[in-house]
Amino acid sequence: MTRFANKTALVAGGGRDIGRACALKLASDGARVAVTYYGSAEGAEQCVAAIVAQGGQAIAIKADLTKMADALNAVEQTVKAFGQLDVLVHVSGGLIARKSLVDMDESFWRQVMDVNLTSLFNLTKVAVPAMGEGGSIVTFASQAGRDGGGPGALAYATSKGAVMTFSRGLAKELGPRIRVNSVCPGMISTGFHDTFTKPEVRERVAGATPLKREGSSEEVANLVSFLASDEASFITGVCYDINGGILNS
């Protein structure tokens, strides 16, 4: 498929799981791809190698996106390598740890907000001037942003709710030149849940969905590719649920 022929995509957090799947999908659909990573260098390099092996073009860029200088460097390196920037997919983020209000301090709160929200602000701030007419941004919120998340996810859920609002507001600011949409994954089979969610909880949640299973990173990537493409040319400011039907808003 050539959805993104002669187009360049920057995938923030492309070294693992959903981010890696997004990078691979965009590349298979014709895009030149830059992936950023911070703690997953090996995964990012493997992602790039996989794209190149299939005849695509890709580079990996180390970046701490909570720092504006690193975000700017990521955009500059992308444009230097490929000449333009058409699609931005911001997957970077994380739960950090499960902590209730009484257990967390200000430092932890700020860390979660920086990883999930400040990184998005920084990257969009420097990417938007480099993007042309018809560009597309896809952000990553979460089902937690819809329903408040599970135990110990207060800070994470709050940050993801903010990502949804940021995306809606940005869509209004950037239209009609650039479209902005957000994806809200539910229980997806990733390292995130391997680390932070107990197996019995995963089994219970998956069983409660109408589809009776967890989702895959590739299924999320398929949605991202559609939203970033011209096939979604009249879609902007929308937060898309992908959770097997367990929550629809």
Q: Side chain identity at 203, as an amino acid letter?
A: E
Neighbour order of strands in the sheet with 8-12: 58-62, 32-37, 8-12, 85-90, 131-140, 178-185, 239-242
Q: Which residues contact 6 (CB under 8 A, 6 or more apart)?
A: 30
With contact defined as beta carbons under 8 Å apart, do 94 and 17 qualify?
no
User: Does residue 156 have an active-site annotation?
Assistant: yes
Residue 160: both structure tokens together? 């993801």
The residue from 37, 38, 156, 240 that is catalytic is 156
- Pairwise CA distance, residues 170 & 180, whole Å: 7
Would you please indicate which residues are annotated as catalytic (active-site) residues? 156
